[in-house]
Chains A and B, each alone.
Chain A
Amino acid sequence: MPVLNWIRRHLVVFAAIAALVYMTIPNVVVLVFSFNKPKGRFNYSLNTFSLDAWTNPCGVGDMCTSVSLSLQIAVLATIGATILGTMVAFALARYRFRGRAPVTGLIWLPMAMPEIVMGASLGTLFLNMRIQFGFWTILIAHIMFCLSFVVTAVKARVMSMDPRLEQAAQDLYATPTQTFLRVTLPIAAPGIAAGALLSFAISIDDFIITQFNAGPSTVTFPMFVWGAAQKGLPVQVNVIGTLMFLVAVVCVIAGQLLGSRRKARS
């Protein structure tokens, strides 16, 4: 039968669509249930349509504080990880030095290790040094694991840069500092931006490492969700979740448009 044949030839595409549906359904559920007014404390079955959560997103105590805390940490961690990571990436991509293999290994390990191991061991360190858990310990941990991602993103970009561009700048009387500021940095910028974006996304959503290093009184948004999950998630959580999704989609689309517009102008 021609229909069966058609299906068989396009089996891969059907499988792909099924996979995509599998990946997207939860987001849809989150969106739909943000308009729900649950019967009891638990928001698991549809009840009545309501815009309450959207009109009063911060109605739940402490949730918005936790969101703002997450944002603060994410911004600071991004700045820290981007600066440190960009420096390391440049060293790896442009210079010769001894100890390249251990450095590369040290950068790669945090990306490959289970978060629980990293979180637990860092938490143990803080305990042993009698450092109080709180905002700063969380920030330190976030910078630690975002670093590697920034290095990877920036290094990829710098290595794809034509080294002759920097030589041309020197040939045209630019001192090494001027070469870096006027040629290397601007061209590497998209890679640095990608690393920063990645770092922000990872930081704002991190739970495991945060839980091990936050202490009892500092609550980031993921920790708030975790704590509330047992008692019943307020609908506002769905609102925040949907907002995060929309912002992410807008950012990714904007990034793609910028990239393609640059190419289209030729």
Chain B
Amino acid sequence: MTAIATPAPAPAPGDAPPAASPPGRAARRRKLVPYWLLLPGILWLLVFFAAPMVYQASTSVQTGSLETGYQVTWHFATYWDAFKEYDVFYLRSLIYAGIATVLCLAIGYPLAYTIAFKAGRWRNVLLVMVIAPFFTSFLIRTLAWRTILADDGIVVSVLDKLHILNATAAIGLTSGDRVLATPLAVVCGLTYNFLPFMILPLYSSLERIDPRLHEAAGDLYARPFTTFRKVTFPISLPGVVAGTLLTFIPASGDYINAELLGSPSEQMIGNVIQSKFLTVLDYPTAAALSFILMAVILVIVSVYIRKAGTEELV
């Protein structure tokens, strides 16, 4: 049983290459499949997500009122007026969101670390405990903080007795002997609401770390904290970036916590937009404020991402 094999002579420069199988109709149809698959979903997003952004832009330069109707008049002054009037709110939103993000990182990282490395058999139980609250009404849970931080509740009286409230009042976090309707309560609520958004990406990137890396570091004379600083934390950086973005961005537009747990002096830009849109019905201003918020977030996020240097977030 022998086979015949000859390497075919290399085509001389003048020869046409032997005809490749011509793309049949079937092959052409196959190439179109992904476009058909994409069409409904992408169309939906274009119509109900992207187009509204455009409308938002156009609304922000309209003038008029509910009675007279709205016209596009390229009234860019709306932007300037809105920003001037509410610049405090923007600042406050960014500060609250920033503090909440940092707190989420500080609180969430140890938890994610524990689940990833120290949990053993309890890993799944702990994950359930992190995820399950996320599936229940966050309004109800946020309202529960009203009970927890109630003026005559345990938490406040303990804090009062320990004179912590005096300290926090001094820096403006609380006022008097209250926690509710102060910045502290709002930040507390923000942190609470967005913890899962921080923990899950952190856990997911920590979980991928081979525990033998810790052993290797220890073998090479690194103390536990040094191992964390030089090995674990750098490798978990993509998770940190993802978590902070998933926390900061929604938090800066939030208004629920400010409304439920804060007073009018804790209002965030989200409250303003909501009131302009749903109550005052001043659509151009609401649109302008919304756009400015988007722009601010975009700038901050781009700077942040460039500094953190990770590109693979999705």
Contacts and interface: CB of A to CB of B under 8 A. Distances in A.
Given A124-B283, A248-B136, A16 B110 contact: yes
A124 B50 contact: no
A211 B34 contact: no
B15 interface: no
A12 interface: yes
A106 to B, nearest CB: 5
Contact of A19 (B59, B136, B195): B195
Q: For chain A, give the interface size range.
A: 35 or more
Given A33-B147, A114-B252, A205-B138, A128 B55 contact: yes
Contacts of B221: none
- Which of B59, B131, B132 counts the most chain A CB atoms within 10 A? B132
Interface in B43-85: 44-46, 48-53, 55-56, 59
B311 to A, nearest CB: 12
B260 interface: yes
Contact of A124 (B56, B115, B246): B56
Interface stretch (A54-62, A82-90, A161-169, A183-191): A82-90
A222 B140 CA distance: 8
A244 interface: yes
A226 to B, nearest CB: 6
B249 A127 contact: no
A112 B42 CA distance: 17
Nearest to A94: B34
A121 interface: yes
A76 B37 CA distance: 20
A241 B260 CA distance: 17
A14 to B, nearest CB: 8
A78 interface: no
Nearest to A16: B114
Chain B interface helix/strand/loop/mixed = helix
Nearest to A150: B41
B273 A20 contact: no
A94 B38 CA distance: 12
Contacts of B33: 91, 95
A28 to B, nearest CB: 9
Contacts, number: 244
A27 B42 contact: no
Nearest to B26: A176
A69 interface: no
Contact of B140 (A104, A106, A225, A252): A225
B51 A22 contact: no
B249 to A, nearest CB: 6
Given A45-B152, A96-B34, A225-B143, A27 B136 contact: yes
A141 interface: yes
Contact of B141 (A12, A30, A120, A208): A30
Interface string A107-121: 111111111111011
Contacts of A12: 110, 113-114, 118
Given A22-B192, A23-B129, A103 B38 contact: yes
Contacts of A145: 49
A15 B135 contact: no
Contacts of A97: 34-35, 38
A133 B132 CA distance: 32
21 contacts: A12-B118, A16-B110, A23-B192, A44-B150, A44-B153, A45-B152, A84-B41, A87-B41, A88-B37, A106-B49, A116-B253, A120-B273, A124-B52, A144-B45, A212-B278, A229-B143, A238-B140, A245-B132, A252-B132, A256-B124, A256-B128
Given A44-B150, A125-B52, A245-B133, 9 more contacts: A12-B110, A27-B133, A84-B40, A84-B41, A85-B41, A90-B37, A110-B49, A117-B290, A252-B132
Interface of B: 33-35, 37-38, 40-42, 44-46, 48-53, 55-56, 59, 107-108, 110-111, 113-115, 118, 124, 126, 128-148, 150, 152-153, 192, 195-196, 245-246, 249-250, 252-256, 260, 270, 273-274, 277-278, 283, 286-287, 290, 293-294, 297, 301, 313-314
